[in-house]
């Protein structure tokens, strides 16, 4: 490692491996966005290909600044902030459904008055909900087996938030619900309550699926017609209707093992949204299966470092916060890549820290910064956090992260929820 890199890392807060992973993904992002926005540049900016490079580079740089500042506070600060963010998120989601900007029958964006900046309220709500769920589980560790005191106050915000997101962005709502459900499982919520929740969600999904299947497409309200078309296209494999997927697979096939080289993509001129939803296909085409494999390994390494934080954290909130945010970002990445290779139907989810974006990139950067804040404070206040572990029903001197790993491995001393 060069001296300049060592100096840079020495000035950054938190897990240095996560910072290196972020820099690696950012490098892929800059190269892939610059290569894939040529068509946009000729269409909207008279062929000025540097426009989107500089724009995305500025957004990415500001995201890194946000990440740095998010890593500075003690992570307990985010426990208090989660309450405020939830209070703000619910009304914003309601406002977005009613008066948000509509694109393809989806009301996902609102425009901030005065500065003319749009953002998806679901990005804020997703971050707020994971933080709030981690807070609730940490504070109610001694009540996770009780319905009124433990389960209900934790699950209600999850259900309300996901229901408000689902009409415009079903894939985000489903991924967020799965993340929070996993977080509740890790947080040792009562298994009978989790089973009932999953059964209810499954039954609701079956009823919704039957309704969408039986109704004619032109009679379906909102985005339901789009959901039906995407699922039917995925099942049938009709090349005439799954244009995005077909072009994505062509890009991957042309990439081969080593790829065409930086900036040499052909499919960027045919693939819809090659700079966002399908940017992974451009990466594989230009850098081959090896380059695509490096991206996969970077996300796996990121999640592994989050698990390391969980295993070392003596704080229930810190452990749950790190694993919740890390799981959400990693699952989103793998869903995006699975869509690209035709394992899943088209969802519209972007590739975190790589796809071109604005506020979505910033919220992702803040989430990573919060994870870094947890890693930074691991050894700073262990003595005070031991008491919190005892209050949550954990052995004295042992943090929730370490206790959870033992429980999942079959610790005979585990108290049933």
Q: pLDDT tens, position by position, for the chain (417 residues)?
A: 566 666 666 677 788 999 999 999 999 999 999 999 888 888 888 788 888 899 999 999 999 999 999 999 999 999 999 999 999 999 999 988 887 766 655 667 777 666 556 778 899 999 999 999 999 999 888 888 888 888 999 999 999 999 999 888 888 999 999 999 999 999 888 899 999 999 999 898 888 777 777 776 666 666 666 666 666 666 665 544 477 888 888 999 998 889 899 988 888 888 888 998 899 999 999 999 999 999 999 999 999 999 988 888 888 899 999 999 999 999 999 999 999 988 888 887 899 999 997 788 999 999 999 999 999 877 433 333 333 443 344 443 355 555 554 554 444 344 333
Nearest to 344 by CA among 354, 333, 359: 333
For 362, residues 6+ apart whose C-beta sits below 8 A from its C-beta are 59, 62, 63, 66
As given in the structure block, the two tokens for residue 294 are: 């490096």
Please state the separation of Cα 336 from the chain's center in Å.
10
CA distances from 333 to 297, 337, 339 (A): 11, 6, 10
- Cα distance between residue 374 and residue 371, in whole Å: 5
Rg of the Cα atoms in the chain: 22
| Residues in the chain, overall count | 417
- Cα distance between residue 53 and residue 30, in whole Å: 7
Nearest to 245 by CA among 151, 139, 340: 340
- Cα distance between residue 221 and residue 147, in whole Å: 35
CA distances from 124 to 50, 71, 86, 267 (A): 30, 18, 9, 33
The pTM for the full model equals: 0.85
As given in the structure block, the two tokens for residue 57 are: 């580079």
Q: In which element (H, E) is residue 108 found?
A: strand 106-112
**In the beta sheet, which residues pair with residue 110?**
119
DSSP, collapsed to helix, strand or coil, labels residue 340 as helix
- Cα distance between residue 298 and residue 292, in whole Å: 10
Sign (positive or negative) of CA dihedral 69, 132, 318, 302: negative
DSSP, collapsed to helix, strand or coil, labels residue 27 as helix
């Amino acid at each position: 490692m060069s001296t300049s890199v060592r100096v840079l890392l020495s000035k950054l807060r938190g897990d240095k491996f996560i910072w290196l992973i972020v820099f690696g993904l950012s490098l892929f992002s800059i190269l892939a966005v610059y290569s894939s926005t040529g068509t946009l540049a000729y269409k909207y900016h008279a062929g000025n290909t540097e426009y989107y490079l500089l724009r995305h580079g500025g957004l990415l740089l500001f995201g890194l600044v946000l990440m740095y500042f998010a890593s500075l506070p003690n992570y307990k600060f985010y426990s208090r902030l989660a309450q405020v963010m939830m209070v703000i998120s619910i009304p914003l989601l309601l406002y977005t459904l009613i008066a948000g900007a509509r694109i393809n029958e989806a009301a996902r964006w609102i425009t901030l008055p005065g500065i003319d900046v749009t953002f998806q309220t679901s990005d804020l709500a997703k971050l707020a909900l994971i933080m709030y769920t981690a807070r609730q589980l940490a504070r109610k560790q001694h009540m996770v087996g009780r319905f009124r005191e433990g389960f209900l106050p934790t699950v209600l915000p999850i259900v309300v938030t996901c229901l408000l997101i689902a009409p415009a962005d079903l894939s985000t709502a489903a991924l967020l619900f799965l993340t929070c459900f996993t977080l509740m499982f890790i947080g040792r919520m009562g298994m009978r309550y989790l089973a009932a929740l999953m059964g209810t969600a499954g039954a609701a999904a079956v009823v919704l699926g039957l309704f969408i299947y039986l109704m004619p497409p032109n009679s379906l309200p909102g985005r339901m017609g789009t959901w039906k078309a995407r699922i039917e296209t995925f099942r049938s494999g009709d090349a005439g209707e799954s244009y995005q997927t077909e072009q994505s697979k062509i890009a991957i096939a042309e990439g081969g093992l080593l790829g065409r080289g930086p900036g040499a993509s052909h499919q960027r001129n045919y693939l819809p949204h090659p700079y966002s939803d399908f940017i992974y296909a451009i990466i594989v085409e230009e850098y081959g299966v090896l380059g695509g494999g490096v991206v996969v390994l970077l996300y796996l390494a990121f999640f592994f470092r989050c698990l390391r934080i969980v295993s070392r954290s003596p704080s229930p909130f810190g452990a749950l916060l790190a694993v919740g945010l890390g799981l959400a970002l990693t699952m989103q990445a793998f869903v995006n890549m699975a869509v690209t290779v035709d394992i899943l139907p088209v969802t519209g989810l972007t590739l975190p820290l790589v796809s071109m974006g604005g506020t979505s990139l910033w919220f992702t950067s803040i989430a990573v910064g919060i994870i870094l804040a947890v890693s930074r404070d691991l050894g700073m206040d262990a003595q005070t956090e031991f008491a919190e572990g005892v209050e949550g029903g954990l052995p004295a001197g042992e943090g929730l992260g370490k206790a959870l790993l033992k429980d999942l491995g079959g610790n005979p001393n585990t108290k049933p929820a």
